[in-house]
Amino acid sequence: MSDKPAISEAELQAWADGRLDEGRRAELEAWYAAHPEEAERAAAYRSFNELLRASYDPVLEEPVPPRLERAAQRGSRLRSIALVAGWVALGIAVGTIAGWQLHALQTPPQATRAEAPVIARRAALAHATYSPEVRHPVEVGADQEEHLVAWLSKRLGGEVRAPKLDAEGMALVGGRLLPRDPGPVAQFMYQNVQGRRVTLYVRTEGLDQRETAFRFAREGNVRVFYWIDRKFGYALSSADLERDELLKIANVVYRQLNP
């Protein structure tokens, strides 16, 4: 329109969002008063905002599904995160030297990332090897759990625990010791009433390994969630469970091993 004042399309949008300053808003509204068609368009735009809120605000009141809460809590490795974030701030403030240290600090996760697929691959292989076994799935059965845990802890050189997964419908079948260079590896096997199996692969990590978030890998038909937590690397594998079911169990395992 020729008699349109110097109102930009952006200002029109800002008016609809209620983001114009007082003076400009008054000018625009005076102009709208003389241009009902434009006024109607602008009012429609504004009404969309209210409709959107009316339509989607109820989502805010819905109970949060547990899986989302778990996902939000996942990396309670807050300290290391806060540390990294602190380094970021310091790096910016102090300049190159701090920046270099920041770089050094960020290197370990990269290293574990490169390292991690090995654990996933080996865990999947061990799972594929032993979980189909009917007669000898484990070396030491769940009936001797105390002995099993003590034995594996001794061989791995640190306190190893077999998480309780009964609430997930998974009963401990037992465990075994697996060879690995340079140190040994423990494998715990669980099974539900349908005979579906999950194995937890536990190995000692090198000096002061950083914690990592859960990562997911797929080796053949075996799904693996793996993570590193202080001295141990863990991999939870299954060929029988879907990714989501497996993730749920991985969360339980993680929580139990990090009380």
Partner 1 sequence: MSDAQSLIELIPRLRRYARALVGDRATADDLVQDTLERAWSKLHLYRQGTDLRAWLFTVMHNVHVNRMRASRPSDPLDDEMPELAQRATQGDSLLVRDLERGIAALPLAQREVLLLVALEDLSYDETARALGIPIGTVMSRLARAREKLRLLLHGKGGTKLQVVK
Binding site for partner 1 (CB under 8 A): 9-10, 12-14, 16-17, 19, 40-41, 43-57, 59-62, 64-65, 67-69, 71-76, 78, 81-82, 84-86, 88-89, 106, 109, 213-215
Q: Using omega within 30 degrees of 0 as the cis cutoff, is the peptide bond preceding 163 cis?
A: no
- Output 8 or 194, the one with its CB closest to partner 1: 8
- Output 147 or 230, the one with its CB closest to partner 1: 230
- With CA atoms as reference, report the closest residue to 156 among 127, 129, 177, 130: 177
Q: Using omega within 30 degrees of 0 as the cis cutoff, is the peptide bond preceding 182 cis?
A: yes
Q: Is 133 helix (H, G, I), strand (E, B) or coil?
A: coil
Asked whether the beta carbons of 102 and 91 are under 8 A apart, the reply is yes
Q: Taking the complex as a whole, how short is the minimal distance between the CB of residue 9 and partner 1, in angstroms? A: 5
Q: Is 225 helix (H, G, I), strand (E, B) or coil?
A: strand
- Output 77 or 155, the one with its CB closest to partner 1: 77
Q: What is the CA radius of gyration of the chain?
A: 28
Give the long-range contacts of residues 28-35, CB within 8 A, separation 24 or more. 31/4, 31/5, 31/7, 35/1
Classify burial at 195, counting beta carbons within 10 Å of its beta carbon; exposed 0-12, middle 13-18, buried 19 or more: exposed
> For residue 134, what is the enclosing H or E element?
none
Asked whether the beta carbons of 248 and 67 are under 8 A apart, the reply is yes
Q: Taking the complex as a whole, how short is the minimal distance between the CB of residue 239 and partner 1, in angstroms? A: 22
- Output 88 or 177, the one with its CB closest to partner 1: 88
Q: Taking the complex as a whole, how short is the minimal distance between the CB of residue 78 and partner 1, in angstroms? A: 5
Q: Taking the complex as a whole, how short is the minimal distance between the CB of residue 8 and partner 1, in angstroms? A: 9
- Output 81 or 111, the one with its CB closest to partner 1: 81
Residue in this structure with the two tokens 């300053």, named with its chain if needed: 21
Q: Taking the complex as a whole, how short is the minimal distance between the CB of residue 201 and partner 1, in angstroms? A: 21
Report the DSSP beta bridge partners of residue 185.
178, 203
Q: Taking the complex as a whole, how short is the minimal distance between the CB of residue 108 and partner 1, in angstroms? A: 11
Q: The tokens of 254 are what?
A: 């993680």
Q: Taking the complex as a whole, how short is the minimal distance between the CB of residue 220 and partner 1, in angstroms? A: 21
- Output 119 or 152, the one with its CB closest to partner 1: 119
- Output 75 or 169, the one with its CB closest to partner 1: 75
- Burial letters 207-233, b for 16+ CB under 10 A, else e: eebbbbebbebebeebbbbbbbbebbb
